[in-house]
A and B are shown apart, each in its own frame.
Chain A
Amino acid sequence: EAGVTQSPTHLIKTRGQQATLRCSPISGHTSVYWYQQALGLGLQFLLWYDEGEERNRGNFPPRFSGRQFPNYSSELNVNALELEDSALYLCASSPGTLEQYFGPGTRLTVT
Chain B
Amino acid sequence: QKEVEQDPGPLSVPEGAIVSLNCTYSNSAFQYFMWYRQYSRKGPELLMYTYSSGNKEDGRFTAQVDKSSKYISLFIRDSQPSDSATYLCAIRHMDTGRRALTFGSGTRLQVQP
Contacts and interface: CB of A to CB of B under 8 A. Distances in A.
A99 B33 CA distance: 10
Given A55-B97, A56-B97, A43 B103 contact: yes
Interface range on chain B (Cβ under 8 Å from partner): 20 to 34
A103 B42 CA distance: 8
Contacts, number: 54
A31 interface: yes
Interface residues of A, number: 22
A4 B42 CA distance: 12
A72 interface: no
Contact of B34 (A56, A98, A105): A98
Tell me if A's interface is mostly helix, strand, loop or mixed: strand
A102 B105 contact: no
A25 to B, nearest CB: 13
Contacts of A33: 99-101
Nearest to A44: B103
Nearest to A46: B100
Contacts of B45: 102
B100 A45 contact: yes
Contact of A45 (B34, B101, B104): B101
A99 B104 contact: no
A101 B106 contact: no
Given A31-B99, A98-B32, A98-B51, A90 B88 contact: no
B43 A90 contact: yes
A22 B36 CA distance: 23
Chain B CB within 10 A, most for which of A42, A44, A55, A56: A42
Contacts of B34: 98-100
B92 interface: yes
B49 interface: yes
A56 B43 CA distance: 22
Interface of A: 4, 31, 33, 35, 42-45, 48, 55-56, 58, 90, 94, 98-105
Give 10 nearest A-B pairs by CB, closest first: A102-B43, A45-B100, A43-B103, A42-B105, A104-B43, A102-B44, A105-B43, A98-B49, A103-B43, A98-B32
